[in-house]
Amino acid sequence: MLLNAVYSHRNPQQCKRDVCGFPLRAMKSVSERENKDIWWSQKRKQRSVYYIRIFSRQMEMMLSAQTSVGRVLMILVFLLNIGTLIIYFIDLIEAEQLPYSLPARVIYVDKFFNAFFVFYFGLRFVGADDKLRFWLELNSLVDFFTIPPVFVSALLRKNCFGLRFLRALRLLDLPRILQILRITKDDYSIRLSKLFAMFISTWLTAAGFIHLVENNGDPWVQPVNSQHITYFRCMYLVMVTMSTVGYGDVVVQTALGRTFIFFFIIGGLVLFANLIPEVLEIVQSRRGYKSCYEVVSGKNYIVVCGNVTLKSVTTFLKDFLLQDKGNVCTEILFLGESLPSLELEAVFKCYSPYATFFYGSALNSEDLKRVRMESANACLILADVCSPEPYTEDISNIMRVLSVKNHCPKTRVILQIIQSRNKVYLPNIPNWDWKMGDSIICFAELKLGFMAQSCLVPGLSTLLTSLFIGKENAETKRKHLKDKMLLGDKDYRVMALQLSNDFAGMTFMEVCRLCFVKLNLILLGIELQFGSRGESAILINPSPQIKLCRNTMGFFIAHSLGEVKRAHFYCRVCHSDIQDPEQIEKCQCGSKPSPKTFSEKMKFYGESLVLDGQPAKLRSLSILPPQRFVDGDPHAQEEESSSVSLYLTGRFHWCDAVPLHEALLSCENQAVLYLQDHILVCVFGDANSPLIGLQDFVMPLRATNLLYHELKDIVLLGPLEYLQREWKFIQNFPKLWLFSGSALSCADLKAVNVQDCAACVILSSNTPISNNPSLVDTESILATLNVRSMEVKLSSSSLDAVFGAGALGNQSEPRYKRIPITTELKFSPNARFINEAPRSSSDIAEEDLLSPTAAPAGAIFSDGFLNSLLSMTYYNHHILALLQALVTSRTSPELEQLEEEDRRLSRSLDNVVQNPYQVRCKLALLPLSERWLSGGMEDSFGDIYCKALDTFGILCFGLYRLTEEPNPFKNRFVIARPASDLKMLPTDLLFSIVPFNIATEDL
C-alpha cells in the first residue's frame, strides 16, 4: 500500500521504471525480442520441415519413376546392374584361365559402377518412408553383399568374388523397365516378362552360390574339401536339379553345397513345375487365341461375344445347330474376354470344324479388327441371366453394341439383355437400325409376358415354346395316350416367308382360309409395310379393313420350309384346280394380273374404313361395337372406368397414379373377402434384391385388346419393402392390389382367397447364395407345394359346375379343384421336386420333366429356353417380332415410336381407333359351344377352323385336350397345329386369336 502511494505521487516518467530501477520500455523491448527470436526459430523449423517434405516427395516420385528424370535414373541403374553382372562373368572366365591377374581397366569400370550404386543407395535411403524397413529390402541386401567385394578387389588387386552373383536378382526389375519403355502393354507380355525374369534370376543366383561354396570348400573342414568347378557347369547342375532329371555327372562335395541343394530341390521343383508350364500355356494361348481371322470369300461367319462361358457356349452351339438342321454353313467365332477353361477348350475341340475361340474384347477396336467384325454376317452378344447385378450386365452389353456399331456401322447386332427398362438406351446408339435386322431379346419382357399370357390362356407357354423355340417331345406324350397316332409324326414350327403377289388385294381372312383349305397351312399373321420410310408392323389376324399388298411377309405354322413355299409359289391361274398341295410348285406363266401399287392400296384403305359399322363377316350376337377400346356396358362401367383412360399410344389401359396405401390390402380390409377369379402373384424379394420388373407382367394383362370388363384383378403377395420398390412402375395400371405377406404362409394365402383365384404365379427375385444349383429355387418350390396344399377336394354336386357334364369319367375316382400354378425356376432340373407324374409313368426320363404330361401339377417355366431365341433371330428376325407381338401385346418398335410421336403432337386419343394397324387381337382358350358345331359329333378340326373363321373371324391354331383317365386333376396336354381330320371332343379347348371387339365369355 505504501509503495503504491509513493508510486502514485511520482512523475509519470518515473513511474515507467520498475522496482529494481529498470525502465518498463526496456523490459518490453527485451520480451519482444525474445518472442521474435522464438517466432523466427519456429518459422525456420517449419520451413525446414516443409522443404524436407518437398524433397522427400520429389525423391519418392523420382525413385518410383513418376518423372522423366526418375525413369531415366531407373533405366540407368538397371543397365549398370547388367553391366556389373557381365563384369562378374568376365572375372570368372579370367580367373579360371589366369587365376591371379585382372586388367586394371575392368576393376576401375566396376568400381565406378558400384560407386554409382552407393549414390543411388543414399537416394533410396533419403526417399524411404520407413528407414528400418529399408535395410531389409531385397535391393538393399543386394547392395550390402555386392558393393564391398568390388572395393576389396580394387584395393588388393586380385579377384574377390564374394556374393557378387546376387546382382542377378536385380533382373526382377526387368518387367517394370519394359513397361516404362512401352515394350510390354498387354497382360500376356507382362505375365511372360515376370515369369522370365523370375526364372533367370533364380537360375543365375543359385548357380553363383554353388560356384562359391564348391570352389572355397567348407570353412570348418581341414584339409579343404573344395573342388574346381566352373560357373557354367554350376548352371548346368542347377538346371538338371530343377528339372528333377539328375544325371549325376556333376555333383557337389561340400556340406554347404549339399544343404543348399536339399532346399533348392524343393523350391526349384515348385518353380520349374509351375513357371515353365505357365510360360508354355501363355505362349500357346497367344499363338492360338490371339491370331487374326482370315476371311474366305463366299463363307459366312458370325461373331459371338459377351458372356462366353462353358454353359452359354454349349447351349448356343446346340441351339444353333438345331436351327441349321445339321447343315452347318456358318462359322462361329467366339470372342471371349478370358482364356477358356479346360472344359471349354474341350468343347471348342469337339466343334472345331465350325467354332473358333479368339481371346479379346468387343470393347477393343483392335480385337474387332482381328475377328474381321466388319465382314461378319452378325454380332451376337450373350448375357449372363444369373448375374446378381442385372443392370451392370445390361450396361456392359450395351457398351459392346456401341463399340461394334462405331467400328462397323453396317454390322447386324443381336443383343440379349435382362431388364426391359434398359432397352431405351439402344435406339440412341448411332447406326442402330431395326430394318437392318438389329434385334433385342429381353429376358424379363418375354419371360413375364409368357407367364402373364398363361394366366389368361393356360397351356399357351407350352404351345408357343413348341412352335417357336424347340422340338416337342412327342414320345413322352404318347406314354400317356392310348391313341398313339393322335399327335402325328410332324414337328410343327412357326416360319416366315413372303406371300405370293397373287394374294394382293385380298383380306387376311380370305387368304387365311385359302391357305388352310388349299395349301394345308395355318396363317397366323402378316408383316405389312407402311409409311414413306419403309416402316413395317406385325399384324396378327388383322381387321378385314386391311388388304394385302405386294411383297407381304406371312407367318405360317408348318412342318418344313417346303410346305411354306406353297404360299410363295401359289398362282391363281396355274394352281386353282390342283387338289393335292404337294403338287404346287413354281410356275412359269406370265398371265398374272398386275395388282395396284402400294400407294394406291394405302389410299384405298384410307377411303374404305367404316368404323361405325361392323365387318360383313362378323355376324354374331356376341360381337360388341367398337367403342374406343374401353368397351362393355357403358352404364355398368361408367363409375368404375371413369378414372381409367388409355396410355399415350392407346395400347394399355391407364389410370391416375394410385397411392400405395390405397392399393394395400389387409386382413381387416373388407375388399379381400370379395376377391374372386383374380390373378395372384407371389413374389419373393427384399430391399436389396434386384427388381423382377413386374411392369412386364402387368402390361400384357392390361393391354387394350382386352375389354375393360375382361380385366382381372391382380393381387401381388410379397414383402412390402420389395413391393413398394416395384409400385412406382405399375401404379398407373387399374385393378391392381398389394398384400404384405409371404406365399410360405398358409394364413396369407387364405387371406387373399387363393382357392378362388383364376391363376397363381410364383416369382423370385432373391439372388441364390448357394453354389448348389438344386438350392437356387428353394423358395419357389416350397411356395408351389404350399399353394398346392390349399387345393380342395370337390364334392359331387360341384363337379358338373367345374368340369361340365359328361366329362367326369369314373365317378368313383376322387376329384380335386386344381389351382392353376405357374412357377418360375432358375434351374430347370429342379422341376423334379414339384412334379407329380402319374404312377403309370414312373419310367419317364428326368429330361422330360418339363413336358406337359410329365408335369400335370401345373405350369413350370424356366427361362433357359429363351437362349434359343438368339439362334432363331439370326436366321429370321421376323419370327422374334411375331413372338413379341403375341406375348407382350406390343407392335413393332418403329410403329410404337411413330405412335408415341403422333400422340405427343395431337394430345388426343381420337386417332387411336382410326388407325387399323393398332387394332390388335387377343389370345384366348375357347371351349366348343353349340354354335361352333355343325350339329353332329363328328366335327373335325378343319370344320371347326373354317366355321370359326367364317362366322366370328376367330383364328384357331392349337388344341388343349384332356389326358386320359385316371385324371383326377383334369390335366390337359397341348396339340400344336392339329391335323385337319382330327376328330374333336366336347371337352376340347381351342387356342384361338380373337378380334379385340369380341367378348370371349359369350362364345
Read off the pLDDT of each residue in 497-520 and give the average, rounded to a whole number. 89
Which range among 398-407, 466-475, 490-499, 581-590 shows the weakest confidence by mean pLDDT?
A: 466-475
Digit-coded pLDDT (tens) for 671-685: 677 788 899 999 998
Of 248, 260, 253, 263, nearest to 218 (Cα)? 253
For the chain, give percent helix, strand, coil, nearest 5. 50, 15, 40
Count how many Cα atoms sit within 13 Å of the Cα of residue 867 in the half-sphere of its side chain: 19
Of 555, 554, 547, nearest to 596 (Cα)? 547
Q: What percent of the chain has pLDDT over 90?
A: 18
CA distance 643 to 654: 9
Read off the pLDDT of each residue in 763-773 and give the average, rounded to a whole number. 71
Q: What angle do CA 859, 863, 869 make, to 5 degrees?
A: 120
DSSP states along 155-186: HHTS---TTGGGGGGGGGGHHHHHHHTTS--S
Cα 553 from chain centroid (whole Å):
31
Number of H helices, E strands in the chain: 33, 25
What is this structure's pTM?
Answer: 0.71
Buried b (16+ CB within 10 A) or exposed e, 632-655: beeeebeeebeebbbbbbbbbbbb
Task: Tell me the three state secondary structure of residue 613.
Answer: coil
Which pLDDT score, from 0 to 100, does residue 905 have? 41
Which range among 464-468, 665-669, 955-959 shows the weakest confidence by mean pLDDT?
A: 665-669
Contact at 8 Å (CB) between 479 and 853?
A: yes
Of 414, 386, 445, 350, nearest to 696 (Cα)? 445
Which range among 97-111, 457-471, 638-652 shows the weakest confidence by mean pLDDT?
A: 638-652
Report the chain's mean pLDDT, rounded to a whole number.
76
Residue type at position 522:
I
Which pLDDT score, from 0 to 100, does residue 284 have? 62
Which range among 228-237, 574-583, 604-613, 984-993 shows the weakest confidence by mean pLDDT?
A: 604-613
Which pLDDT score, from 0 to 100, does residue 286 have? 56
Please report, for residues 1, 9, 10, 34, the alpha-carbon distance to residue 23 in angstroms, rounded to integers and kept in the order given. Answer: 21, 17, 14, 17
CA R_g for the chain: 42
Which pLDDT score, from 0 to 100, does residue 600 have? 41
Confidence of residue 243 (pLDDT cuts 50, 70, 90): confident
Confidence of residue 894 (pLDDT cuts 50, 70, 90): low
CA distance 983 to 189: 71
For residue 362, pLDDT over 90 is answered with yes
Q: What percent of the chain has pLDDT over 70?
A: 72
For residue 77, pLDDT over 70 is answered with yes
DSSP states along 322-356: HHTTT---EEEEEEESS---HHHHHHHHHTTTTEE
Digit-coded pLDDT (tens) for 95-122: 666 554 555 566 678 788 888 888 888 8
For residue 17, pLDDT over 50 is answered with no
CA distance 65 to 71: 4
Confidence of residue 285 (pLDDT cuts 50, 70, 90): low
User: Which grid cell is 97?
Assistant: 584361365
Digit-coded pLDDT (tens) for 211-230: 888 888 888 888 888 888 88
For residue 694, pLDDT over 60 is answered with yes
Largest CA distance in the chain: 149
User: Which grid cell is 316?
Assistant: 448356343
Which pLDDT score, from 0 to 100, does residue 856 have? 35
Count how many Cα atoms sit within 13 Å of the Cα of residue 275 in the half-sphere of its side chain: 20
Which pLDDT score, from 0 to 100, does residue 843 have? 38
Of 182, 246, 257, 250, nearest to 219 (Cα)? 257
Which pLDDT score, from 0 to 100, does residue 572 have? 78
Digit-coded pLDDT (tens) for 144-160: 888 887 777 767 666 67
Which range among 323-332, 386-395, 480-489, 593-602 shows the weakest confidence by mean pLDDT?
A: 593-602
Read off the pLDDT of each residue in 390-395 and give the average, rounded to a whole number. 92
CA distance 666 to 56: 69
Cis ω before 966 (30° cut-off from 0) = yes
